[in-house]
Amino acid sequence: MRPKQRILSAPVYQPGKPIDDVKREFGLTEVIKLASNENPYGCSPKAKEAIAAQLDSLALYPDGASLQLRWDLADFLGVKPEQLMFGNGSDEIVLMISRAYLEPGTNTVMATPTFSQYRSNAMVEGAELIEVPLKDGVHDLEAMASAINGQTRVVWVCNPNNPSGTIVGTSELEAFLKKVPKDVLVVMDEAYYEYVVDEAYPQTIPMLAQYPNLIILRTFSKIYGLATLRVGYGIASEEIISHLDHVREPFNTSSLGQAAARAALKDQEFVKECSRRNREGLKQLTDRFDEWGLSYYPSQTNFVLVNLNLDSDEVFKQLLQQGIIVRSGKALGFPGYQRITVGTAEQNEKVLQALANIVVGAGK
Ligand X SMILES: *Cc1c(COP(=O)(O)O)cnc(C)c1O
Residues of this chain that interact with ligand X (CB under 6 A) are: 37, 89-91, 115, 158, 162, 189, 191, 219, 221-222, 227, 232
Nearer to ligand X, 166 or 219 (CB): 219
Nearer to ligand X, 118 or 316 (CB): 118
The least distance separating ligand X from the CB of residue 112, rounded to whole angstroms, comes to 14
Judged on CB neighbours under 10 Å (0-12, 13-18, 19+), 281 is buried
Nearer to ligand X, 17 or 222 (CB): 222
Nearer to ligand X, 134 or 354 (CB): 134
The least distance separating ligand X from the CB of residue 296, rounded to whole angstroms, comes to 18
Nearer to ligand X, 221 or 347 (CB): 221
Nearer to ligand X, 189 or 194 (CB): 189
Strand partners, 303: 341
Nearer to ligand X, 13 or 203 (CB): 13
Nearer to ligand X, 221 or 338 (CB): 221
Task: Characterize the bridge pairing of strands 303-307 and 337-341.
Answer: antiparallel
The least distance separating ligand X from the CB of residue 364, rounded to whole angstroms, comes to 29
The 3-class secondary structure across the chain, one letter per residue, is CCCCHHHHHCCCCCCCCCHHHHHHHHCCCCCEECCCCCCCCCCCHHHHHHHHCCHHHCCCCCCCCCHHHHHHHHHHHCCCHHHEEEECCHHHHHHHHHHHHCCCCCEEEEEECCCHHHHHHHHHHCCEEEEEECECCECCHHHHHHHCCCCEEEEEEECCCCCCCCCCCHHHHHHHHHHCCCCCEEEEECCCHHHCCCCCCCCCHHHHHCCCCEEEEEECCCCCCCHHHCCEEEEECHHHHHHHHCCCCCCCCCHHHHHHHHHHHHCHHHHHHHHHHHHHHHHHHHHHHHHHCCEECCCCCCEEEEECCCCHHHHHHHHHHCCEECEEHHHHCCCCEEEEECCCHHHHHHHHHHHHHHHHHCCC
The least distance separating ligand X from the CB of residue 168, rounded to whole angstroms, comes to 14
Give me the count of residues in the chain. 364
The least distance separating ligand X from the CB of residue 91, rounded to whole angstroms, comes to 3
Name the residue with the smallest CB distance to ligand X: 89
The least distance separating ligand X from the CB of residue 311, rounded to whole angstroms, comes to 25
| Cis omega (within 30 of 0) for bond into 62 | no
The least distance separating ligand X from the CB of residue 304, rounded to whole angstroms, comes to 14
Nearer to ligand X, 219 or 237 (CB): 219
Nearer to ligand X, 257 or 281 (CB): 257
| Amino acid sitting at position 37 | N
The least distance separating ligand X from the CB of residue 342, rounded to whole angstroms, comes to 14
Cβ atoms 364, 292 nearer than 8 A: yes
Strand partners, 112: 133
Alpha carbons 360 and 288: distance in angstroms, whole number: 13
The least distance separating ligand X from the CB of residue 217, rounded to whole angstroms, comes to 7
The least distance separating ligand X from the CB of residue 190, rounded to whole angstroms, comes to 8
